[in-house]
């Protein structure tokens, strides 16, 4: 209904890649994290890092429906950490570079990122600034043809292996949202330090780091767009990140349900397969209902995006729904497996651990509720 044969061709391409190049390795990557410099060039070669991006920089120049197909197929990756590392490259660290970056920045950083030759990370969160992004203290001070960056960042996905960061720093002291700059920061710059690789509950395929910047100098031309507007660019960039969680979540949730149904069809308890218990079947029905609602909201958002309408309200609603639904389904499926749901050999344990972050990262549930309430005038 929404997708034609070109979309289905892309779906088949991403599916083949996920089945062949990702899912067979996720157990290994959960222990040692995904080798991004090995995997990313393969994704780049297939054009999957540049679906929406301008062909002038190696992109495919396709629309949001193709992007949605790509995201839906990433949802079949059996480890959310691997999904996350890929999304950083496509939906977190590069949208603002594509939209607001200079020709020089796009040729130097975006083009190789689309080709998968360079690995990117998005550096916004700090020890004292997560939900409240404007409280960040990392500072970039102009010095001639350079900016000097001092400060730290926390919880940065891909940062251990990244070649560059898209980094938000304070460039002035005026209150409000016009005292920030968004910068491209090469990680081989003197003064860049990965102070700690972090040990996490889930998302173990992805590497996550605490970073420190000590008089790190970048050329002034590494500023994305205009000085003072970085916060605004980042708020726009968040919309891509938050949107990406919608298709991924409903597909991942459906996969969890399918594997659970396979199990409860053959698991005999009190003389009957568990699937015959109405209470369980109705719970499954509730979840697929939620999945369908989220999917239809997603397609509505895609139509809004195609019409160039602001979808912040709807994306916030979808992100809130996705986080809650993923947690509910992961927990409920684990419950249906009984003791087998508590064994690490069962993939549901990983989904359960991974899914927890969906209500925290990229703006916690409470932040989504706040945006929705504000936009509704409550
Ligand atoms: C594995 C992982 C990967 C991440 N990757 C990245 C990355 O690549 N780049 C990056 O920049 N950041 C990244 N983050 C950071 C993530 O976006 C933040 O953790 C998130 O925004 C929440 O910020 P915080 O942890 O500082 O929580 P806080 O801001 O301290 O909030 C704590 C909790 O308080 C609640 N809360 C906050 N504000 C309100 C309010 N107004 N009303 C009611 N309740 C509220 C929420 O429940 C929130 O979860 C990552 C985090 C993790 C754990």
Ligand 1 center from residue 46 Cα (angstroms):
33
Catalytic residue among 5, 241, 345, 376: 241
- Which superfamily, per CATH, for 232-375? Butyryl-CoA Dehydrogenase, subunit A, domain 3 (1.20.140.10)
- Give the separation between CA 259 and CA 18, rounded to whole angstroms: 18
CATH topology of domain 121-231: Butyryl-CoA Dehydrogenase, subunit A; domain 2 (2.40.110)
- Give the separation between CA 311 and CA 313, rounded to whole angstroms: 6
Find out whether the beta carbon of 323 lies less than 6 Å from any atom of ligand 1. Answer: no
Query: Are β-strands 164-170 and 120-123 bridged in parallel, bridged antiparallel, or unpaired?
Result: parallel
User: For residue 41, what are the CA distances in angstroms to 46, 93, 164?
Assistant: 9, 17, 16
Ligand 1 center from residue 244 Cα (angstroms):
17
Find out whether the beta carbon of 208 lies less than 6 Å from any atom of ligand 1. Answer: yes
Q: What is the residue extent of each domain of the chain?
A: 5-119, 121-231, 232-375
CATH topology of domain 5-119: Butyryl-Coa Dehydrogenase, subunit A; domain 1 (1.10.540)
Ligand 1 center from residue 82 Cα (angstroms):
20
- Give the separation between CA 67 and CA 51, rounded to whole angstroms: 6
Report pTM. Answer: 0.98
User: 3-class SS at 152?
Assistant: strand
Phi then psi for residue 58, to 5 deg, are 95, 5
Is residue 83 within 8 A of residue 18, CB to CB? The reply is no
Ordered per-residue pLDDT tens for the chain, 378 residues = 889 999 999 999 999 999 999 999 999 999 999 999 999 999 999 999 999 999 999 999 999 999 999 999 999 999 999 999 999 999 999 999 999 999 999 999 999 999 999 999 999 999 999 999 999 999 999 999 999 999 999 999 999 999 999 999 999 999 999 999 999 999 999 999 999 999 999 999 999 999 999 999 999 999 999 999 999 999 999 999 999 999 999 999 999 999 999 999 999 999 999 999 999 999 999 999 999 999 999 999 999 999 999 999 999 999 999 999 999 999 999 999 999 999 999 999 999 999 999 999 999 999 999 999 999 999
Find out whether the beta carbon of 32 lies less than 6 Å from any atom of ligand 1. Answer: no
How far is residue 277 CA from its own chain's centroid?
37
User: 3-class SS at 204?
Assistant: coil
């Amino acid at each position: 209904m929404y997708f034609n044969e070109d979309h289905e061709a892309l779906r088949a391409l991403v599916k083949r890649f996920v089945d062949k190049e990702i899912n067979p390795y996720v157990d290994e990557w959960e222990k040692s994290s995904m080798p991004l410099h090995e995997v990313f060039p393969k994704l780049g070669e297939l054009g999957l890092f540049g679906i929406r991006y301008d062909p002038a920089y190696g992109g495919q120049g396709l629309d949001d429906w193709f992007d949605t197909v790509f995201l839906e197929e990433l949802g079949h990756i059996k480890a959310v950490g691997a999904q996350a590392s890929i999304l950083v490259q496509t939906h977190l660290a590069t949208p603002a570079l594509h939209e607001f970056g200079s020709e020089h920045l796009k040729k130097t950083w975006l083009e190789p990122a689309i080709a998968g030759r360079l690995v990117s990370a998005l550096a916004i969160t700090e020890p004292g600034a997560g939900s409240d992004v404007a409280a960040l203290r990392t500072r970039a001070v102009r010095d001639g043809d350079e900016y000097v960056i001092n400060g730290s960042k926390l919880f940065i996905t891909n940062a251990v292996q990244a070649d560059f960061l898209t980094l938000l720093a304070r460039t002035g002291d005026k209150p409000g949202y016009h005292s920030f700059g968004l910068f491209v920061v090469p990680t081989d710059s003197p003064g860049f330090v990965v102070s700690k690789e972090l040990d996490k509950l889930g998302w173990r395929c992805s590497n996550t780091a605490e970073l420190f910047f000590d008089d790190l100098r970048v050329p002034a031309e590494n500023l994305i767009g205009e000085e003072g507007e970085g916060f605004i660019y980042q708020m726009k960039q968040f919309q891509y990140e938050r949107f990406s969680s919608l298709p991924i979540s409903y597909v991942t949730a459906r996969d969890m349900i399918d594997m659970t149904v396979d199990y409860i069809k053959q698991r005999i308890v009190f003389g009957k397969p568990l699937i015959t218990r109405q209470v369980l079947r109705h719970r499954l029905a509730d979840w697929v209902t939620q999945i369908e609602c989220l999917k239809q909201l997603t397609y509505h958002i895609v139509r809004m995006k195609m019409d160039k309408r602001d979808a912040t309200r709807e994306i916030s609603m979808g992100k809130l729904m996705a986080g809650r639904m993923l947690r509910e389904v992961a927990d409920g499926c684990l419950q249906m497996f009984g003791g087998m749901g508590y064994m690490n050999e069962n993939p549901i344990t990983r989904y359960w651990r991974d899914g927890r972050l969906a209500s925290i990262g990229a703006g916690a549930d409470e932040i989504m509720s706040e945006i929705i309430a504000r936009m509704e005038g409550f």
